[in-house]
């Protein structure tokens, strides 16, 4: 491909709205173009990268036994009503009506359609298992799209769905998908980690996320050298250290202490001459149907996802100040578990393990000191609520945990029978019994993976594509294409590389050397071939790898072969 005949326009300035490096570089390198918030055109070179990833994904999915199909992205409301998600999904689901006022949505995912597709054909255990996938555009009406391809509203996703007659069969498919995902991300040259994850509103039991490690990642990942890894939302820890010894004796009943103007945990602890772990932190939440009081130790934070899962509710948020006062009968910042009535009390096990504590008195400017969990209040539910912290003991080996940032590029779930039950996707077993199929689903964000590759592979000059995702493997630059020797040499090399099967872009533009060099660095071709006048007259061209930018003069006759060698290292 000749640059002069291609469609590649680089930008000198960063777009004003691009914040993260992958967004800036993809935009400046002429790979993506924003059309609306979270909605992008994949320009020709950008599409080449996406297409390359798509091929890798297809190869690995096919190798793992999955079969490709494509489902509609406009889906009828009826199916979503059948699964219950028409109500449950919320505003992220883009709902549309046709001219007859019939309701549809733009698919954010495809469990409903695939379940319908399978149930109308598969009726016997003999036809199972089935694993179907597609690569298609999805739409999620995100509250806040940002970071270019990393969090778009419209995005390309590979989504696969498997159907089974037994948990063992699902397990087999799940492991095959895990393996396929590792192969895909390994082939892309990404540094990533697979972690245990929350299943969110897709539902299901076991779930893993594939996180590309990058400081700009939106997710926090807890990791241990022993191999344990989990999304912070999900992470559990080993038993944390007991609270420090309580100063003085444990009173026979809680005492109310006047604590004017001190409502935060650090302030209260200092005022009472206690330490933060001596306090019980009381947070009041509001769900879709009730108020709930959550208790964690003073030095811990409530993990809202864990709380949400423990309650089995779909919406959860911190209660507003007025509601707090209504529920606790006291001012915000002075809530406590003692004497609360008419609300569910959910406590972290670490709280119930505290021999004695201080907490709010449900009365403005007062705290209770000497509260004994179990004696002075009882929890309706005791469940892990605490957010893991750096240095907490690993739940598997006890070593201190680390927390790192990651970009979620893939997510696999064991769905179980949530959709097959709701949508009557049944099969007959060998005994003639009717059973819901057991399902799994496996997502992988294509644009996000490409963006993640850029986050991990760039320098101050531009993108350094891993070869498998590079829009072109090599670039031939003719410095002065009008010079006969240069022009002929460049043409010759361009032809040789093409014949050798190298994906090569020929920069034949009438631009200054600096412009071409800067564009080459920005777009990030793994291998660069520069044909200049002086070198060419001596029968030489200059080869370099984008990665190290070390220039090597090479005889013209050897150049094409040498490019292929360099590509092996790129």
Partner RNA sequence: CGGGGCGUAGCUCAGCCUGGUAGAGCACACGGUUCGGGACCGUGUGGUCGGAGGUUCAAAUCCUCUCGCCCCGACCA
Binding site for RNA (CB under 7 A): 10-17, 19, 28, 34, 36-38, 92, 140, 142-147, 151-153, 155, 157, 200-202, 209, 218-219, 304-305, 308, 317, 408-411, 443-445, 447-448, 461, 479-480, 512-515, 517-522, 530, 532-535, 542, 544, 549, 551
Pick 52 or 448: Cβ nearer RNA:
448
Q: CA-CA-CA-CA torsion for 349, 353, 356, 360, nearest 10 degrees?
A: 0
Helix H segments across 120-274?
A: 167-187, 265-271
Strands 438-445 and 154-164, by their bridges, are: antiparallel
Euclidean distance between CA atoms 149 and 220, whole angstroms: 19
Q: How far is the CB of 315 from RNA (least distance, A)?
A: 8
Q: Using alpha carbons only, how large is the chain's radius of gyration in Å? A: 29
Pick 176 or 274: Cβ nearer RNA:
176
Q: How far is the CB of 391 from RNA (least distance, A)?
A: 21
Terminal Cα distance for the chain, rounded = 21
Q: How far is the CB of 123 from RNA (least distance, A)?
A: 29
Q: How far is the CB of 423 from RNA (least distance, A)?
A: 19
Pick 122 or 319: Cβ nearer RNA:
319
Please, is 353 exposed, middle or buried when counting C-beta atoms within 10 Å of its C-beta (0-12, 13-18, 19+)?
A: middle
Bridge partners of 445, per DSSP, are 157
**SS3 call for 133:** strand
Pick 370 or 524: Cβ nearer RNA:
524
Rounded (to 5) percent helix, strand, coil in the chain: 30, 30, 40
Phi, psi dihedral angles at 369 (to 5 degrees): -115, 135
- 534: DSSP letter: H
Pick 93 or 438: Cβ nearer RNA:
93
Euclidean distance between CA atoms 6 and 475, whole angstroms: 13
Pick 376 or 408: Cβ nearer RNA:
408
Bridge partners of 505, per DSSP, are 475
User: What tokens appear for 258 in the block?
Assistant: 């006047």
For residues 471 and 465, the answer to whether their CB atoms sit within 8 Å is yes
Count of beta carbons in the 10 Å neighbourhood of residue 369? 22
Pick 295 or 541: Cβ nearer RNA:
541
Q: How far is the CB of 408 from RNA (least distance, A)?
A: 5
User: What tokens appear for 361 in the block?
Assistant: 């008195």
Q: How far is the CB of 1 from RNA (least distance, A)?
A: 18
**SS3 call for 407:** strand
Please, is 285 exposed, middle or buried when counting C-beta atoms within 10 Å of its C-beta (0-12, 13-18, 19+)?
A: buried
For residues 411 and 125, the answer to whether their CB atoms sit within 8 Å is no
Q: How far is the CB of 34 from RNA (least distance, A)?
A: 7
Q: How far is the CB of 205 from RNA (least distance, A)?
A: 14
Pick 28 or 52: Cβ nearer RNA:
28
Q: How far is the CB of 272 from RNA (least distance, A)?
A: 29
Q: How far is the CB of 109 from RNA (least distance, A)?
A: 7
Q: Is the peptide bond before 176 cis (omega within 30 degrees of 0)?
A: no
For residues 92 and 141, the answer to whether their CB atoms sit within 8 Å is yes
Pick 145 or 373: Cβ nearer RNA:
145
Pick 365 or 511: Cβ nearer RNA:
511
């Amino acid at each position: 491909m000749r640059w002069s005949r291609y469609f590649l326009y680089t930008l000198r300035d960063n777009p004003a709205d691009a914040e993260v490096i992958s967004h800036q570089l993809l935009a400046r390198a002429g790979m993506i173009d924003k059309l609306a918030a979270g909605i992008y055109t994949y320009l020709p070179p950008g599409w080449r990268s996406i297409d390359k990833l798509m091929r890798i994904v297809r190869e690995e999915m096919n190798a793992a036994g999955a079969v490709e199909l494509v489902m509609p992205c406009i889906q009828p409301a009826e199916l979503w009503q059948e699964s219950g998600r028409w109500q449950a999904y919320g505003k992220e689901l883009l709902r549309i009506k046709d001219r007859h006022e019939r309701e549809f949505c733009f698919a954010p995912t495809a469990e409903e359609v695939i379940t319908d597709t399978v149930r109308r054909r598969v009726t016997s255990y003999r036809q199972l298992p089935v694993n179907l996938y597609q690569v298609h555009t999805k739409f999620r009406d995100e509250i806040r799209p940002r970071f270019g391809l990393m969090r778009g509203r419209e995005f390309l996703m590979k989504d696969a769905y498997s159907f089974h007659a037994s948990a063992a069969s699902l397990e087999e498919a799940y492991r095959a998908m895990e393996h396929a995902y590792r192969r895909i991300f390994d082939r892309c040259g990404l540094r990533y980690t697979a972690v245990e994850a929350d299943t969110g509103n897709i539902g299901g039991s076991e779930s893993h996320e594939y996180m590309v490690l990058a400081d700009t990642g939106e997710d926090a990942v807890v990791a241990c050298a022993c191999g344990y890894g989990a999304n912070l939302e999900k992470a559990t820890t080993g038993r944390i250290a007991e609270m420090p010894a309580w100063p003085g004796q444990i009173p026979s009943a809680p005492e109310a202490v006047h604590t004017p103007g001190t409502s935060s945990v650090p302030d209260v602890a200092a005022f009472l001459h206690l330490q933060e772990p001596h306090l019980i932190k009381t947070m009041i939440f509001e769900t879709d149907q009730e108020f709930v009081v959550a208790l964690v130790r003073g030095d811990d934070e409530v993990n809202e996802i864990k709380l949400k899962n423990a309650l089995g509710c779909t919406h959860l948020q911190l209660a507003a100040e007025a509601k707090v006062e209504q529920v606790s009968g006291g001012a915000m910042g002075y809530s406590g578990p003692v004497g609360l009535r008419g609300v569910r009390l959910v406590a972290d096990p670490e709280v119930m393990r505290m021999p004695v504590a201080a907490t709010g008195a449900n009365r403005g400017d007062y705290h209770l000191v000497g509260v004994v969990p179990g004696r002075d209040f009882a929890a309706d539910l005791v469940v892990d609520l605490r957010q893991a912290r750096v240095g907490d003991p690993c739940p598997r080996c006890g070593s201190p945990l680390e927390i790192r940032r990651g970009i979620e590029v893939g997510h696999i779930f064991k769905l179980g029978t949530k959709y097959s039950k709701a949508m009557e996707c049944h099969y007959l077993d060998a005994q003639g019994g009717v059973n819901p199929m057991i399902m799994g689903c496996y997502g992988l964000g294509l644009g996000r993976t490409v963006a993640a590759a850029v986050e991990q592979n760039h320098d101050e000059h531009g993108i350094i594509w891993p070869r498998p995702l590079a829009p072109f493997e090599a670039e031939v630059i003719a410095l002065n294409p009008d010079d006969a020797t240069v022009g002929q040499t460049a043409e010759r090399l361009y032809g040789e590389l093409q014949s050798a099967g190298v994906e090569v872009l020929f920069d034949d533009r009438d631009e200054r050397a600096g412009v071409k060099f800067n564009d080459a660095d920005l777009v990030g071709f793994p291998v660069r071939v520069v044909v200049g006048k002086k070198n060419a007259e001596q029968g030489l061209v200059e080869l370099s790898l984008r990665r190290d930018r070390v220039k090597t003069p090479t005889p013209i006759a050897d150049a094409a072969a040498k490019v292929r060698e360099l590509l092996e290292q790129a």
